[in-house]
Structure 1
């Protein structure tokens, strides 16, 4: 296809330009999040990398074990130093500090830390690959889902909201997998390892240390529960903000033309305030966890220091062991605190994941049941008792149209009559409520959408060009198009001359909005793209509405050559441009109320004659 479709007249409310409930307000009524189901679904994306995760787990265990052994060995060195110094102080004959043994202990300690760092590096290296591959799969699933979504999904949602789910939310998931999974594994292994080491040193001190653990869990549990709501609000309002910014940026000429800058800024400030409020509460509540855990840890530290000091005086424990135990106590609190912080990050990540999964769970286009392959259509098109409506009420009822190959069919009627809807049904952007549309006698539902849509070339009122060279934009119409074919298509659309007047000719790079060329020139390029595609059936939706009168004459001539031998559907508001059409369909309120040639319809003196005469009488008044 040469063009994207515009929003159909009479489309569903709630989309861009729709009725109440449209735009960013659509997200205000979100239901409570299902944490467990979403978390399990997110874990399912990690299943294909079980082997790598096992390797990460093993590397984390080894790294942590070597790291945990450090304080105990350090305690041995301190005990050796203390006992030698104490014996020397007591005047024990031959007493001295054995620096050789202490040096050996410290050398062993250094080796353990080096080995621990190596395994930590291996763990991070493998996990980075796991995280990026998982996010890659998630992005692929989302991208494929977007291709399978029906047009009504895009009609009913701001583009920025969808983009936020594809970018911000997936990035949040990727960051968590990259940073938090390894930290969580390390924290769990550290907690278990330190607990074992503490028990080997002193069960009594271990008991004192563990008494504070239930207190920590009891303190942070209600905080985690509250923070989940605010993290979900934060992700939701971030999507709203992105949607608003995207809408205002792409539509800034209209905003300025109607003097709505203040209103746009006010809306931005309102959503930004909501994001600030949700983010502040989420971060504040999650920030309480760290000082609370530190306070509880300090209580444990004081108790252990007092009891440990008493045990040292009673010589029930060595001074090196008490120093190692205090170190373990500090290290024991840290992974618990880290686990609590990770729990907060997981809350935010699950909120982001649920938004992504909501997109993945959207209703898709009806699955294809391809029974016929259409190589190149002859161009016969038939609407047989077609019924269609965007909601419960039907917009089109019992429509019957018969178009022979090579005919030019003009579709006219007032705004909202269903002209563009008819084209959307022809392209199968929407599914019928009843009846059938046939191409060369084949029901469009019995052929693949790819076969169907490559049968048509579209030139719409709203031009679409991407950031790239003019050559690339024209070649978009045909895979593997040669330079000669591109230039011939440009000449046929009367675009070659103006292209060559540009500084870089066909290599001129169009910006994202293609604002470095005029609207009329953009239209000429889209027409050239359709010429290059060489489809058997053409759809022209007021294709000359954005060009001057002289250019329009050239385009009309080019279109006559383009439509020669092809079936063509032309939506036109200026009735003078479709006088030579083989068949004119006059639509009103979703029904074809008149059809025939220009002369026959004028003689009938009906709705078409009134439309035609009113246009010329308006010109005479002017």
Structure 2
């Protein structure tokens, strides 16, 4: 995305003008108190140079103390207010980001890596927080201090005030010009952090496989390569920051040398008083500190701008699967059909000319060789993606004419790669549901054939399963996901190779239980399976090959046909017979 990322933060504070005005007011009062102190000190030096008078000394001391208190109070108020802005913007932006992530689809996620998204949803908000809590308030206070200080200096000596103002204008121009370089460098750092995070997450979650294949050294070497890129980009950022950061301090020191030289000459000539020279020297001390603070704040601003741009890049993505303007709710009965459906990818048809009609309450088996389009077919029914040709019909209505919310309430899908959360087995099964009756949970556990596993678990169904279900086997995870789907009692149930880690006999029992259990008679079930025994009881079996339905019918009809299904069944039967003999 082009341009500074600061513009993406504006919508989050634009409707809070009272906060912005409050920041300006607090910064103005605090900066005025700080800037007026040298002016008051200079006046005190001039008035007391002829002799110390206690009442005058006390009055000036009280004045300086009052200014110090004002500075402390209003700097505190400014920090609290900018901290509130930082917390509010970070909170609202993170809510928007997470909400957007939940509605994005596969095509969107293909644009970002998992580690990249993890970085954008976590570490990128740290610079945004600092943008407001440190950068914004520091820059605001220091800029006002510089402006007010220069005005007060000009009232004492327009020449010296003009010199300081010219030097500060030079440094502001240089920083504004060089700022985008710093922002781009930090953006590169954040992208490399995301790559590093993704690499670590991917390999830590597959550490057992890494060890099993003896790939530890290769993975360490690959990590070193990724880490080197991060270190190099970080070093480039630090080098650029190191070149830009000293500019304000150097310019202020240059102006200090000029002021001391010219100011001393003006005092000798009697054009300004000694108190005014002291006033200028104190001002230069304040302005030097302000210049350093501006430099630090400027770096925070550029980091925050880069992070905001990365987050805005995700927010700019829109889901491709959305409700049509005329979409309507539908009480789904479960009839599913396709008419001339085709799906393309990389210029080739993955599915083409898919046409069928399935009555509500039917059980449908889907089999075929790898790459035949089985999972793609289920993703069309789930409306995870839309076809490039033809229609997917739900109860005779094009799925694109239904609201996603009403349709997906009637649907449950169990993918092959099951994900469980670090909570109890019961909570994983009832995920997202409230007040689920024990009978419904027991029914789901029974149909999914988890009942026999519960006695082996320390606390039965209330056992914590660990992160991503680490304490369960692959088959137990898949059966937990099936129980989770059954508890929802959907009108349409999609099992996308969800029985791959389950033995053939148990898979057959699960399929039989799905048809006989609660809701079985009115639930339409699509089962993608590698074990043909699992789809044998199905009302109809679709055999996919080359992206088309090559054969369809019941198990007996397809075996009698002697085609692709019969060949697959013979191979599976022979393999199972050989295994029984050797076993």
* 1:516 equivalent in structure 2: 471
Distance 1:485 1:444 in 2: 29
Residue of 465, 479, 484 corresponding to 2:420: 465
* 1:145 equivalent in structure 2: 100
Determine if contact 1:406/1:567 at 8 Å carries over to the other structure: yes
Deviates more, 1:598-607 or 1:556-565: 556-565
Distance 1:196 1:517 in 2: 72
Deviates more, 1:418-427 or 1:265-274: 265-274
How far off is 1:386 after superposition?
A: 0.7
Distance 2:128 2:281 in 1: 36
Cα 1:405–1:366 change in 2 (3 A) is closer
- Mapping of 1:122-521 within 5 angstroms? 122-213=77-168, 216=171, 220=175, 223-224=178-179, 226-369=181-324, 370-375=326-331, 377-476=332-431, 478-521=433-476
Deviates more, 1:57-66 or 1:364-373: 364-373
* 1:41 equivalent in structure 2: 8
Determine if contact 2:135/2:296 at 8 Å carries over to the other structure: no
* 1:50 equivalent in structure 2: 17
Distance 1:390 1:440 in 2: 28
CA offsets per residue over residues 41-62 of structure 1, 9 Å max, x none?
Answer: 3323320112211111111101
> Which secondary structure does the structure 2 equivalent of 1:535 belong to?
coil
TM-score norm. by structure 2 comes to: 0.92
Q: Post-superposition, which runs of at least 4 consecutive aligned residues in structure 1 deviate over 6 A?
A: none
Cα 1:157–1:40 change in 2 (3 A) is closer
How far off is 1:200 after superposition?
A: 1.7
Determine if contact 2:136/2:301 at 8 Å carries over to the other structure: no
Determine if contact 1:35/1:350 at 8 Å carries over to the other structure: no
* 1:77 equivalent in structure 2: 44
Determine if contact 2:321/2:385 at 8 Å carries over to the other structure: no
Distance 1:49 1:292 in 2: 34
Determine if contact 1:289/1:341 at 8 Å carries over to the other structure: no
> Which secondary structure does the structure 1 equivalent of 2:241 belong to?
helix
Cα 1:493–1:342 change in 2 (3 A) is same
How far off is 1:544 after superposition?
A: 2.9
CA offsets per residue over residues 469-527 of structure 1, 9 Å max, x none?
Answer: 22221211644313443234323433245335533333322222211222232223222
Distance 1:170 1:548 in 2: 46
> Which secondary structure does the structure 2 equivalent of 1:378 belong to?
coil
How far off is 1:551 after superposition?
A: 4.7
How far off is 1:547 after superposition?
A: 3.2
Distance 2:233 2:88 in 1: 31
Determine if contact 1:49/1:130 at 8 Å carries over to the other structure: no
> Which secondary structure does the structure 2 equivalent of 1:271 belong to?
helix
Cα 1:578–1:366 change in 2 (3 A) is closer
* 1:569 equivalent in structure 2: 526
Distance 2:110 2:186 in 1: 28
Distance 2:508 2:348 in 1: 41
> Which secondary structure does the structure 2 equivalent of 1:48 belong to?
coil
Determine if contact 1:53/1:127 at 8 Å carries over to the other structure: no
* 1:584 equivalent in structure 2: 541
Cα 1:385–1:208 change in 2 (3 A) is closer
* 1:29 equivalent in structure 2: none
Distance 2:134 2:417 in 1: 44
Q: Does 2:556 correspond to 1:599?
A: yes
How far off is 1:587 after superposition?
A: 0.2
> Which secondary structure does the structure 2 equivalent of 1:437 belong to?
strand
CA offsets per residue over residues 282-326 of structure 1, 9 Å max, x none?
Answer: 112212334343333223222322332333334433322211111
How far off is 1:218 after superposition?
A: 6.7
How far off is 1:150 after superposition?
A: 1.6
CA offsets per residue over residues 528-548 of structure 1, 9 Å max, x none?
Answer: 212211112222233333235
Distance 2:162 2:412 in 1: 77
Determine if contact 2:378/2:496 at 8 Å carries over to the other structure: no
Determine if contact 2:508/2:533 at 8 Å carries over to the other structure: no
Q: Does 2:68 correspond to 1:113?
A: yes
- CA-based RMSD of the aligned residues comes to 2.4
CA offsets per residue over residues 165-201 of structure 1, 9 Å max, x none?
Answer: 1222233222212211111211221111001110122
Cα 1:214–1:135 change in 2 (3 A) is closer
Cα 1:598–1:489 change in 2 (3 A) is closer
Distance 1:293 1:437 in 2: 65
Cα 1:160–1:434 change in 2 (3 A) is same
Deviates more, 1:408-417 or 1:515-524: 515-524
CA offsets per residue over residues 202-261 of structure 1, 9 Å max, x none?
Answer: 223223334534554576566545434322221221221122122222222233333332
Cα 1:462–1:535 change in 2 (3 A) is same
Deviates more, 1:154-163 or 1:98-107: 154-163
How far off is 1:130 after superposition?
A: 1.8
How far off is 1:280 after superposition?
A: 1.2
> Which secondary structure does the structure 1 equivalent of 2:123 belong to?
helix
> Which secondary structure does the structure 1 equivalent of 2:34 belong to?
helix
Determine if contact 1:372/1:442 at 8 Å carries over to the other structure: no
TM-score norm. by structure 1 comes to: 0.87
Q: Does 2:513 correspond to 1:543?
A: no
Cα 1:452–1:305 change in 2 (3 A) is same
Cα 1:247–1:262 change in 2 (3 A) is same
Structure 1 residues not aligned, in runs of 5+: 1-32, 85-96
